[in-house]
Amino acid sequence: MKEFFNLSFKGLTPSYYYRQLIFGFIIAALFISIAWSHETDTLKLTGSIISFIFLALLYPYSIFVYESIVGFFVGENIFYFEGFLALLFFLIKFIAIIFCYGFSFIIAPIGLIALYFLNKKRQSE
């Protein structure tokens, strides 16, 4: 079990993990502020805050899966957009980030399993 923990949860590079963790907590803060302003029941608010923090902790592994899939299809290509297309690209990227955050409890286990096998393969080489 310790090997699985080390190879999966510690499988991302620290710079990538902390950067995505910061983004996850920014998204969590956004949702917490929305919940704080609309929710009057303390128990529901506490549950929401705990859920948002839990999703933020899983977000780096979720976005890893998303970026791996996009990287597989796009490869090392660089795209340049101007005007409306750039705005459309950022909107699509924002929707993808919110999707990965909201469903990180489903997507993150896939990322953790993938990280385990990728790092186990690197270790054996």
* DSSP class of 10: T
Identify the pLDDT of residue 74.
85
CA dist., res. 59 & res. 16, Å (int): 12
Are 101 and 55 in contact, with CB atoms under 8 Å apart?
Answer: yes
CA dist., res. 111 & res. 11, Å (int): 10
CA dist., res. 119 & res. 125, Å (int): 10
pLDDT along the chain (125 residues), means of 10: 76 91 96 89 90 96 93 83 86 94 95 89 79
* pLDDT tens digits along 71-93: 888 887 777 878 888 889 899 99
Identify the pLDDT of residue 29.
96
For the CA atoms of 80, 84, 86, 87, the dihedral, rounded to the nearest 10 degrees, stands at: 180
